């Protein structure tokens, strides 16, 4: 049996999320500030993103017939 930590998916940093979305970190900050960004949460002062949530958010924001 794996330790509990090994079963927890790795969370993305702000920079990793921006890179995945092919936008700048500044653009991601702006999306978050406007309430339009992918779901995220803070651990202390650090914002983190669950990759599954980011992928779902991206899928819901893609226009039909256009690949991200």
CATH of the domain at 50: 1.10.1660.10
Cα separation of 63 and 43, whole Å?
Answer: 32
pLDDT score of 68 more than 70: no
Report yes or no on 66 lying in a domain: no
What per-residue confidence (pLDDT) applies to 47? 94
Using a pLDDT cut of 70, give the percent of the chain over it.
81
pLDDT in tens, 7-57: 667 999 999 999 999 999 999 999 999 999 999 999 999 999 999 999 999
Range(s) of the domain holding residue 48 = 9-59
Report yes or no on 16 lying in a domain: yes
- Overall domain count for the chain: 1
Report yes or no on 4 lying in a domain: no
Calculate the dihedral angle through the C-alpha atoms of 15, 17, 23, 28, rounding to the nearest 10 degrees: -80
Using a pLDDT cut of 90, give the percent of the chain over it.
74
Report yes or no on 19 lying in a domain: yes
């Amino acid at each position: 049996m794996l330790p509990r930590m090994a079963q927890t998916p790795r969370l993305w940093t702000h920079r990793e999320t921006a890179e995945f979305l092919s936008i700048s970190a500044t653009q991601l900050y702006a999306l978050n500030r406007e309430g339009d960004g992918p779901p995220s949460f803070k651990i202390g002062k650090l914002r983190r993103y669950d990759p599954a949530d980011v992928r779902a958010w991206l899928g819901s924001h893609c226009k039909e017939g256009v690949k991200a």
